[in-house]
């Protein structure tokens, strides 16, 4: 890990005529106003928080629920257009199974075959079309900025583009080539893009994941693994009044299974289970012949993942006249703070100190991300580098405006110092 980028030149004139970007005279004024800051911290890039927020807003106001491929692709189109303007080399893989496209952008500089830095972000959200106009109106209240998916993770995804743009504007490059990958269905486990992520990671020395910061500017250095299972229970229908004794209730069996599954939760070991979705029955006056449940599992180690997965897949019916079938498995592997991740974190911590904030890490989080895939491959991965805020997936989802510049500065400094 060094302290200076290479010296290739790429002019900022590529951005001429792009209306939403700040004019270069304005950027010059911003830099002039920051003379004192530059004198004190000559390595820290001067960035414009208002410009960053304006770009984030453009992406946020294109709503993009995971299962709406057309909606997600509208954001992909916008990201591709922005990246094309700065000369990035794009590869767009058409979506499948009802999901949007995967967008890869290689920096205008560097050899694509050389191992470099992979930046991961996703463009899908959990919020339905219409949230922007109703429950999640875009608004700014002091330091808080609200919008659907703004925290998880349109803000971070835009910051990846903004960092690459910064180098183009400055006519500078990084020592390592940079690739950004935008995922269309991370919120549902990245089922169609995992192979592409892992293929890209094989050509990366480092992976930077722009998922949101946690609990006050903290990044993520360890994540639990995520398992997803579907339990299907088949009983026997009967009239709930006239022939109740002939029926075998799939929902009654499900109730027993839920208690067993939820009973696997062990906070001391870091295991959590959650039966989050249930459908069953055909009428209130019919003994239910079917019930389907979806189960979420979080575990901190590969060993626990293997043992708890085997237990869930091996669950049997309590009622001999009901049939229980379980499918599924681990969706994202767990990873811990290994030596490579620890070194990358300490490097980032030092850069953050130069910028003026104390970067800490969350020792272990139960939320999964695409960083699970790359870290499990043994590639140094630093996650949670996006905007700080709160309320992922919630009605009050928000970012803190004050986090945009320092977090973008940290990303820029990581790109220019990693070797």
Flag whether pLDDT at 8 surpasses 50.
Answer: no
CATH of the domain at 278: 3.30.70.360
Q: Are residues 203 and 299 in the same domain?
A: no
CATH of the domain at 188: 3.40.630.10
Q: Are residues 216 and 133 in the same domain?
A: yes
Domain membership flag for residue 170:
yes
Task: Give me the mean pLDDT over the 195-213 stretch.
Answer: 98
User: Which residues lie closer than 8 Å to 246 by C-beta, 6 or more apart?
Assistant: 236, 238, 239, 287
Report the range of poorest mean pLDDT among 41-45, 196-200, 374-378: 41-45
Share of the chain above pLDDT 70, in %: 90
Listed residues 307, 332, 357: the one ending a domain: 332
Q: Are residues 242 and 320 in the same domain?
A: yes
Q: Are residues 373 and 360 in the same domain?
A: yes
Q: Are residues 255 and 379 in the same domain?
A: no
Domain membership flag for residue 86:
yes
Task: Give me the mean pLDDT over the 32-48 stretch.
Answer: 62
Domain membership flag for residue 64:
yes
Q: Are residues 72 and 82 in the same domain?
A: yes
Domain membership flag for residue 4:
no
405 vs 107, 141, 349, 411, CA distance in Å? 21, 18, 16, 10
Flag whether pLDDT at 372 surpasses 70.
Answer: yes
Flag whether pLDDT at 360 surpasses 70.
Answer: yes
Q: Are residues 237 and 275 in the same domain?
A: yes
Task: Give me the mean pLDDT over the 163-182 stretch.
Answer: 97
Flag whether pLDDT at 387 surpasses 90.
Answer: yes
Domain membership flag for residue 174:
yes
Listed residues 314, 332, 350: the one ending a domain: 332
What mean pLDDT, rounded, does the chain reach? Answer: 91
Q: Are residues 170 and 21 in the same domain?
A: yes
Task: Give me the mean pLDDT over the 178-197 stretch.
Answer: 97
pLDDT band at 4 (very low <50, low <70, confident <90, very high): very low
Q: Are residues 48 and 98 in the same domain?
A: yes
Flag whether pLDDT at 39 surpasses 80.
Answer: no
Q: Are residues 114 and 215 in the same domain?
A: yes
- The span from the CA of 209 to the CA of 221, in Å, is 11
Domain membership flag for residue 103:
yes
Listed residues 315, 332, 349: the one ending a domain: 332
110-163: pLDDT as tens digits? 998 999 999 999 999 999 999 999 999 999 999 999 999 999 999 999 999 999
Domain membership flag for residue 6:
no
Enclosing domain of residue 245: 225-332
Flag whether pLDDT at 86 surpasses 70.
Answer: yes
pLDDT band at 216 (very low <50, low <70, confident <90, very high): confident
Whole-prediction pTM: 0.86
Domain count, the chain: 2
User: Which residues lie closer than 8 Å to 397 by C-beta, 6 or more apart?
Assistant: 136, 146, 147, 148, 149, 150, 151, 152, 389, 390, 391
Q: Are residues 325 and 373 in the same domain?
A: no
- The span from the CA of 86 to the CA of 168, in Å, is 7
262-302: pLDDT as tens digits? 999 999 999 999 999 999 999 999 999 999 999 999 999 99
Domain membership flag for residue 3:
no
Report the range of poorest mean pLDDT among 24-33, 100-109, 363-372: 24-33
| Apex 320 CA angle, 316 and 322, nearest 5 | 75
Q: Are residues 400 and 322 in the same domain?
A: no
């Amino acid at each position: 890990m060094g302290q200076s980028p290479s010296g290739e030149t790429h002019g900022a004139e590529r951005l001429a005529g792009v209306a939403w970007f700040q004019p270069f005279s304005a950027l010059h004024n911003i830099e002039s106003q920051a003379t004192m800051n530059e004198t004190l911290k000559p390595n820290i890039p001067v960035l414009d928080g208002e410009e960053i927020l304006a770009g984030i807003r453009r992406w946020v106001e294109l709503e993009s629920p995971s299962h709406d491929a057309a909606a997600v692709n509208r954001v992909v189109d916008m990201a591709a257009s922005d990246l094309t303007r700065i000369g990035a080399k794009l590869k767009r893989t058409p979506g499948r199974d009802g999901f949007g496209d995967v967008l890869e952008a290689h920096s205008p500089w560097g050899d694509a075959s050389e191992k470099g830095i992979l930046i991961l972000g996703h463009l899908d959200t959990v919020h339905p079309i219409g949230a922007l106009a109703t429950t999640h109106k875009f608004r700014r209240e002091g330091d808080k900025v609200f919008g659907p998916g703004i925290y998880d993770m349109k803000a971070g995804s835009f910051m990846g583009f903004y960092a690459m743009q910064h180098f183009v504007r400055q006519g500078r490059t990084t020592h390592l080539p940079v690739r950004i990958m935008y995922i269309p269905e991370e919120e549902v486990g990245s089922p169609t893009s995992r192979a592409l992520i892992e293929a890209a990671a094989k050509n990366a020395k480092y992976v930077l994941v722009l998922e949101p910061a946690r609990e006050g500017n903290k990044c993520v250095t360890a994540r639990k693994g995520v398992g997803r299972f579907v339990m299907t229970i088949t009983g026997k229908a009967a009239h709930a009044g006239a022939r109740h004794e002939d029926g075998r209730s799939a929902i009654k069996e499900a109730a027993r299974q839920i208690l067993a599954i939820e009973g696997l939760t062990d906070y001391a070991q870091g295991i959590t289970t959650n039966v989050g979705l249930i459908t069953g029955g055909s009428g209130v006056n019919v003994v239910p012949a079917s019930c389907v449940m979806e189960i979420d599992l979080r575990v901190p180690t590969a060993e626990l993942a293997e043992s708890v997965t085997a237990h869930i897949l091996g669950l049997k019916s309590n009622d001999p006249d009901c049939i229980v079938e379980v499918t599924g498995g681990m969706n994202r592997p767990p990873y811990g703070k290994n030596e490579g991740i620890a070194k990358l974190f300490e490097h980032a911590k030092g850069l953050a100190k130069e910028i003026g904030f104390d970067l800490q890490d969350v020792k272990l989080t139960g939320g999964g991300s695409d960083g699970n895939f790359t870290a499990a491959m043994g590639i140094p991965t630093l996650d949670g580098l996006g905007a700080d805020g709160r309320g992922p997936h919630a009605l009050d989802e928000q970012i803190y405006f004050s986090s945009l510049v320092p977090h973008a500065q940290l990303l820029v400094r990581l790109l220019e110092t990693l070797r």
